[in-house]
């Protein structure tokens, strides 16, 4: 199988490369492109490269992920998160490759009431109602793909973290060494998604030639405070941790209070594995 990977310099893109190189190099020929190699908003270049390479699969890890920055750069966020995926979907139809695309928990409203109504998380078919521009553009990107490409796989993730790039786990490890005291919000609830587990589950879906929308996250429901506390406990970092409301941190973009993704659908697929959040965290901390 020949696969093109877009957004190769991000934490998910680097994890794809690591796992393919380690375990699948005999089965998958992976061509990796950073945004400087191939910008997904440069449509003619993308088209020329795809027509030359003739991939079986295109894995789109490229996105405008700066949640607050999206409020300031609305046109750019929409171009990367909606317009470019639409073009990739059009190419998928023309060139007959499967399009794998990543989306986010932020497509959902994340209300406090939803936390009570859906303790196991949002299902894949729950109505979207994003509360910020980033979530809105990611939802528009999803819809553009669904309406255009038959052979697609959309994977939603939440609180993504892994060995590469920047994420909450790495930030806490750094701050835990720099400071004696930290404040972390305890009124935003969800579950972390570990990049390694995302790639493993995606490979399983690809191997079965499955299409559609799936959630990949971890088992359990925690707050950011709970997550930080576990990071420090497992790593034996002595830091005074204070739980605060999200009002203590003023952000340009509104954040959902609840963003748990239900993984019931993907767990019904043979060979998939959704891990408890603490197991995923312990494994990641060991790798770091």
Q: What pLDDT was estimated at residue 25? A: 94
Overall size of the chain counted in residues: 288
- What are the DSSP calls for 207-238, one per residue? HTT--EEEE---BS-EEHHHHHHHHHHHTT--
pLDDT at 258: 97
Class of the CATH-defined domain 2-167+192-217+260-275: alpha beta
Nearest 5°: the CA angle 285, 230, 63 is 60
pTM across the whole model: 0.96
Burial of 145 (0-12, 13-18, 19+ CB in 10 A): buried
Q: Which of 176, 171, 168 is CA-nearest to residue 237? A: 176
Q: Give burial (CB, 10 Å; 0-12/13-18/19+) of 147.
A: exposed
From the candidates 122, 134, 214, 257, which is the catalytic residue?
134
pLDDT at res. 217? 98
pLDDT of residue 250: 87
Q: Which residues, 6+ apart, have CB-to-CB distance to 236 below 8 Å?
A: none
Where do the structural domains in the chain lie, given as residue ranges? 2-167+192-217+260-275
Rounded Cα gap, residues 178 and 169, in angstroms: 14
pLDDT, tens digit only, all 288 positions of the chain: 999 999 999 999 999 999 999 999 999 999 999 999 999 999 999 999 999 999 999 999 999 999 999 999 999 999 999 999 999 999 999 999 999 999 999 999 999 999 999 999 999 999 999 999 999 999 999 999 999 999 999 999 999 999 999 999 999 999 999 999 999 999 999 999 999 999 999 999 999 999 999 999 999 999 999 999 999 999 999 999 999 999 888 899 999 999 999 999 999 999 999 999 999 999 999 999
| Calpha distance 152→57 (Å, rounded) | 10
Q: Is 134 one of the catalytic residues?
A: yes
- The pLDDT of residue 122 is 98
């Amino acid at each position: 199988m020949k696969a093109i990977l877009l957004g190769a310099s991000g934490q998910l893109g680097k994890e794809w490369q690591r796992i393919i190189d380690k375990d699948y190099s005999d089965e998958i020929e992976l061509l990796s492109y950073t945004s400087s190699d191939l910008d997904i908003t440069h449509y003619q270049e993308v088209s020329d490269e795809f027509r030359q390479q003739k991939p079986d699969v295109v894995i789109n890890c490229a996105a405008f992920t700066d949640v607050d920055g999206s409020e300031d750069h609305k046109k750019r966020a929409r171009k990367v998160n909606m317009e470019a995926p639409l073009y990739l979907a059009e190419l998928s139809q023309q060139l007959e490759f499967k399009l794998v695309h990543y989306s986010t928990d932020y497509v959902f409203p994340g209300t406090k009431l939803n936390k009570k109504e859906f303790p196991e998380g949002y299902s894949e078919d729950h109505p979207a109602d994003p509360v910020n521009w980033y979530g809105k553009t990611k939802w528009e990107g999803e819809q553009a793909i669904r309406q255009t490409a038959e052979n697609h796989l959309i994977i939603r993730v939440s609180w993504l973290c892994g060995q590469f790039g920047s994420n909450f786990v790495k930030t806490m490890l750094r701050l835990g060494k720099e400071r004696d005291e930290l404040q972390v919000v305890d009124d935003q609830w969800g579950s972390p998604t570990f990049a390694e587990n995302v790639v493993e589950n995606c490979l399983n879906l690809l191997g079965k030639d499955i299409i559609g929308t799936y959630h990949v996250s971890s088992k359990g429901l925690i707050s950011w405070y709970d997550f930080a506390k576990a990071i420090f406990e497992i790593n034996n970092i002595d830091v005074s941790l204070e739980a605060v409301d999200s009002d203590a941190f003023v952000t340009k973009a509104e954040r959902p209070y609840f963003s748990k993704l239900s993984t019931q659908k993907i767990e019904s697929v043979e060979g998939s594995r959704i891990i408890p959040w603490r197991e995923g965290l312990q494994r990641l901390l060991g790798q770091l």
